[in-house]
Amino acid sequence: MPLLDKTDVLPRLATMPRVVLELGCGSTKRDSVAIGVDVMDLPGVDLVGDIFEVLSSFPATSVDAIQSYHFVEHVDDLPRLMQECARIMKGGATLTVVVPHFSNPYFYSDYTHRRFFGLYTFCYLAAQSPFRRQVPLYGHVPRFRIDDVQLGFKSTRPFYVRHAIKRMQGALFNSTRWCQEWYEENLCWICPCYEVCYTLRRLP
């Protein structure tokens, strides 16, 4: 499917004061000023096409921030995605990625999900892990550092009481890096986590 620039955003990149991408935005963007990217032609999508084709259409160091909410789990080639994001992002630009945690029972129901995510997943692709346990890079040249990792605990409607309890659990388990690691090693199958939010920064 050829790339469709619905709002003629690509020719205007050089004149935009701030370029923010929202990958896999679906019909509703979280950030109204972001450029919405999706493979489906839905309301709110500015660029329609395969993610790698869309990213390749951006010049190097042209993007100030990239956001992604429950999209990256659908991508087959995560290292390639990170390389393309790094290529188009300015030094110091932020990359926010929210994905289902591997203990989320809904993760397994969606046949389009391609990979699991835990606390350490992006540590394999970043310059330094924020956790005590360091992991190998497997030859990957890191272009990002991790600023923050947060576990997200919530329940969907109509489970409001359960949602409130899980939010309290989240406050406890996110209080320190040690608590996050201890939770994932010992409690994640007892108290499943809904999602993980990573904040990464493009290295200069």
User: Hey, what are 50's tokens?
Assistant: 């395969």
**The pLDDT of residue 143:** 97
Over residues 161-189, the pLDDT tens digits come to 888 889 999 999 999 999 999 999 999 99
- Determine the Cα–Cα distance for residues 88 and 176; give it in Å rounded to an integer: 33
pTM for this one? 0.93
**What is 59-151+195-202's CATH number?**
3.40.50.150
pLDDT of 157 > 80? The answer is no
pLDDT at 128: 86
Q: What are the extents of the domains in the chain?
A: 59-151+195-202
pLDDT tens sequence across 85-142:
999 999 999 999 999 999 998 888 999 999 999 999 999 999 989 999 999 999 999 9
Q: How confident is the model at residue 59 (pLDDT cuts 50, 70, 90)?
A: very high
Residue 106's pLDDT is 87
Identify which of 145, 146, 147, 125 has the alpha carbon closest to the alpha carbon of residue 136: 125
Q: Provide the pLDDT for residue 22.
A: 98
Q: What does the mean pLDDT of the chain come to?
A: 94
Residue 9 has pLDDT above 80, yes or no: yes
| pLDDT band for position 155 (cuts 50, 70, 90) | confident
